[in-house]
Amino acid sequence: MQKNYYQVLRINNDATPEQIVQAYRRARDRVTQSGVEDPDTLALLKDAFEALSDPGSRADYDQSLSAPPEPPPRLRTVAAPPSDFSMDGDAGHDKSDSGARRKWIGIVVAVAAALITVIIGFLLGGKSPAPPAATVVARSVTNTSTIPVSSDPLGSGQASAPATPQNAANTAPRTGDQVFAEVSQSIVRIVVMDESNNPIGGGSGVVTARATVITNCHVALKGPIIEVRAGKDSFPATVALADETYDLCQLTVAGGFSAPAVEVGNLQYVRTGQKVFAIGAPQGLDLTISEGIVSSLRETSLGKIIQTTAPISPGSSGGGLFNISGQLIGITTFQHRTGQNLNFAVPADWIADMSPRGGSGPNLQ
């Protein structure tokens, strides 16, 4: 029997978003810790995670599960001749024996005729037989809202991929103005206020799924009231998931917020020397883009992070670092205050591995 996505993750159909994340991690760990590389199983687990972690995608998938399966095509058959049908050369044989023989001949003729009909139909129509049914029902929505999609669901240092990994080599390079035009609608400014609605801090954010923004926790947790500002519009937001260890917070945005999600890239394909673009709101200046390169991939207590020459400033925290294919490869997080142009972004891969944790963020080794 084919497994659906719930069975793949070993959860019930009414599982909460948190239970889905935990089940995905457990299943992923079982595969990665088995010592046997199984990319097909990892890809299937990630497909299940992507489909079920977003409410819209999950609703579409649940509806597909309840839809009745299409009946298989019927083969046109040729009726067998009646048992008492006489043929030349049957004279002298037992009538019941000859009738049974004719019946079997008729069945063979019918099957052969049906097969010939199908083969001729394919040849005349230029069609090939349909491939076997997929193991699980295909999903119709690719973005997630509870935990955003990443091309590397295993996080830094365990780069896997969806069935076809998203990486810069697979998409056409773009100039800075093209990258900006493509992703700028997905970059927002974060304003944090106290109980009296007085601004006390702010930063940047990136839309990674429907009504979902990723920013740094050192931005989002500074006060009790959060606003997401896109152009002249402001939307209330709440912290749905805070991972202070990664210094990443996931915000749920209300008020009809409908900015598109970015495409998340993969640290596996980031190389020192590659051109990158940082987009955010340094010093509160919305939608500022700066260009640089990947200076290095630095080891930290949590794994590799991205060092870049793309200039950032206070207010850039939580903004996006993009490659020349317009894919989000990092969240700009901090800079070295005593050096020059030493800027750092945590990998976008970490988004898929977020969990409620305290901590102080990654530390350079």
Q: What was the pLDDT predicted at 166?
A: 43
Q: What was the pLDDT predicted at 141?
A: 29
* 345 DSSP β-pair partners: 306, 332
> In this structure, what token pair is assigned to residue 36?
């046997």
Q: What was the pLDDT predicted at 139?
A: 33
**Which tens digits make up the pLDDT trace of 124-159?**
554 444 444 333 333 332 333 333 333 333 333 333
Contacts 24+ apart (CB under 8 A), 21-26: 21/49, 21/53, 21/146, 21/147, 21/355, 24/48, 24/49, 24/53, 24/153, 25/353, 25/355
Q: What was the pLDDT predicted at 332?
A: 97
Q: Three-state secondary structure along the chain?
A: CCCCHHHHHCCCCCCCHHHHHHHHHHHHHHHHCCCCCCHHHHHHHHHHHHHHHCHHHHHHHHHHHHCCCCCCCCCCCCCCCCCCCCCCCCCCCCHHHHHHHHHHHHHHHHHHHHHHHHHHHHHHHCCCCCCCCCCCCCCCCCCCCCCCCCCCCCCCCCCCCCCCCCCHHHCCCCCHHHHHHHHHHHEEEEEEECCCCCEEEEEEEEEEECCEEEECHHHHCCCCEEEEEECCEEEEEEEEEEECCCCEEEEEECCCCCCCCCEECCHHHCCCCCEEEEEECHHHCCCEEEEEEEEEEEEECCEEEEEECCCCCCCCCCCEEEECCCEEEEEEEEECCCCCCCEEEEEHHHHHHCCCECCCCCCEC
Q: What was the pLDDT predicted at 50?
A: 83
Q: Residues 280, 204: contact at Cβ < 8 Å? A: yes
> In this structure, what token pair is assigned to residue 228?
């997401």
User: How far are the Cα atoms of 83, 85, 110, 242, 312 from residue 90, in angstroms, in the given order?
Assistant: 13, 10, 21, 87, 96
Q: What was the pLDDT predicted at 143?
A: 33
**Which tens digits make up the pLDDT trace of 80-138?**
444 443 333 343 444 445 555 666 666 766 767 667 766 666 565 544 444 443 333 33
Residue 12, Cβ neighbours under 10 Å: how many?
A: 10
Q: Per-residue pLDDT for the chain (365 aa), expressed as one digit of tens each? A: 567 888 888 888 888 887 888 888 888 777 777 666 677 787 888 888 888 888 888 888 888 887 765 555 554 444 444 444 333 334 344 444 555 566 666 676 676 766 776 666 656 554 444 444 333 333 332 333 333 333 333 333 333 333 334 444 445 788 999 999 999 999 999 999 999 999 999 999 999 999 999 999 999 999 999 999 999 999 999 999 999 999 999 999 999 999 999 999 999 999 999 999 999 999 999 999 999 999 999 999 899 999 999 999 999 999 999 999 999 999 999 998 777 889 999 999 999 999 999 988 888 76
> In this structure, what token pair is assigned to residue 204?
């940047």
For the entire predicted model, the pTM comes to 0.56
